[in-house]
Structure 1
């Protein structure tokens, strides 16, 4: 898929949790085709930060030529992005990587599982599935109620269930503890994004129930085009590959998690 470098205007930027911002960018020339699960490299508006920051595409409104990113402000680069003001211009390289396979492989009963800020690509996936009249089931997990991000927005596209480690919202425990997973026959595909331990647990559950599972990996990325080799992942079929170009989405049977 062709990559584009665009100068986009900040249409809105607001905090949606203590350290997470929702950045909305506007294009005056339209947006390229994008697949849920792909990401973008955002140029940080600070002379002190040289490298772009990779962020999953969170939401796309093609009618308004708007794209959203969910930013967790954990360092100087992401903090600068979270502090951008309406009207400022941001240079963005997109779309990058390979996304979820919903366009090429039919799915009827998808289960979308996200942990923390890992829910980011799943909203766009829900929007894309809705174009084919598919309402997925969302399972969102976090440490506490405040770490469950954008629940109301997810509810527009499917049924939403929640787990928190402290029990402050939804069921207490991890996503793989939720009673929703007791009836695996309800699902024919699992898509997940979040912390590595969560992804491995979800992949193991899907494997035990013979459900195809795709995960979006969050390996540390720098260049986003496979040049710096800092996001390498070991796979069963190709050996070491760059997550930024081969992924970030992988079917879990390709990964060396069970080999």
Structure 2
């Protein structure tokens, strides 16, 4: 259920050249987050539209987000210092379903599609699953959170387009390095990556895909992020961002 919250910034720092990590604090349970894959919609001073940012992880009193500095809004967000108040709509969107994972889930993230898979991975390991994680980037300089996934206990494979770390190529190329068949998959990243994965993954393998999309309101009112599925039109912000593989029309 959507909630408007005044968070306090505990941390806001770069972790690569253009990727930043922000930790926000609120009262216990106030953020309302119930599933990995949900997002918050941040109000930035002087800008009309909020900025939707995927939730990387959370505790009872904190929310961690990781964002890429790509425009005016995130350039401003990068300047916000710890101790500052930050208004955001929290617990937005339809998240991943960890209960569907089975024993050997496969998690695949590309670029800024990596963060929402971290909280999911933690959840799955706590439930006894043994996930394999594939992380895709352009170069070694862009790689982030590899060690964090490993510390959770996940098997981590990295693919870089230029071959500077791990498998040379894309996440689809790294699929050949998986040791055991996946029981279910979860993925988040740019649409071309999701489309390529749909072709590369076994036809009968069920899974969930989280879409990156420009959003106006972030809670389903403006209809600006609607897409067609096998079951009719759905709004990425409200009915998604997570959709089932079987319902997506490519």
Partner Cα separation in structure 1 for residue 87 and residue 58 of structure 2:
17
**Are residue 200 (structure 1) and residue 195 (structure 2) matched?**
yes
**Which digits, 9 at most, give the CA deviation of each residue in 1:86-142, with x for residues without a partner?**
000011111011111113x35211100001111010001011112212231110011
Which residue in the other structure is 2:209 paired with? Answer: 215
C-alpha RMSD of matched pairs (Å): 1.5
Distance (whole Å) between structure 1 residues aligned to residue 177 and residue 164 of structure 2: 22
Q: In 2, distance between residues paired with 1:39 and 1:77?
A: 17
Q: How many angstroms apart in 1 are the aligned matches of 2:216 and 2:57?
A: 22
Q: How far apart, CA to CA, are the structure 2 residues paired with 1:160 and 1:183?
A: 10
Measured in 1, the distance between the counterparts of 2:12 and 2:170 equals 30
Instruction: Output the CA distance in 1 between the equivalents of 2:58 and 2:241.
Output: 19
Q: How many residues align?
A: 248
Which 4+ runs in 1 deviate beyond 4 A?
182-185
Q: Which residue is equivalent to 2:164?
A: 168
Q: What SS does structure 2 have at the residue aligned with 1:11? A: strand
**Residue 49 of structure 2 aligns to a residue in which SS?**
coil
TM-score by length of 1: 0.91
Tell me how far apart the structure 2 counterparts of residues 74 and 106 of structure 1 sit (CA, whole Å). Answer: 33
Structure 1 range deviating more: 130-139 or 93-102: 130-139
The separation in 1 between residues aligned to 2:187 and 2:86, in whole angstroms, is: 29
Q: Give the Å deviation of 1:184.
A: 8.0
Q: Give the distance between the partners of 1:216 and 1:68, measured in 2 at CA.
A: 18
* Pairing partner for 1:226 from 220, 229, 247: 220
Partner of 1:236: 230
Structure 1 gaps of 5+ residues are none
1:33 Cα offset (Å): 3.7
> How far, CA to CA, are the matches of 2:168 and 2:64 in structure 1?
30
Displacement after TM superposition at 1:220 (Å):
1.1
User: Who is 2:56 aligned against?
Assistant: 58
Q: Secondary structure at the match of 1:244?
A: coil
Match of 1:42 in 2: 42
CA distance in 1, matches of 2:207, 2:101: 14
TM-score computed with the length of structure 2 as normaliser: 0.94
Q: How far apart, in 2, do the equivalents of 1:102 and 1:183 lie?
A: 20
Identify unmatched segments of 5+ residues in structure 2: none
Aligned to 2:27: 28
Which residue of the partner structure matches residue 113 of structure 1? 108
Note the C-alpha offset of 1:251.
Answer: 0.8
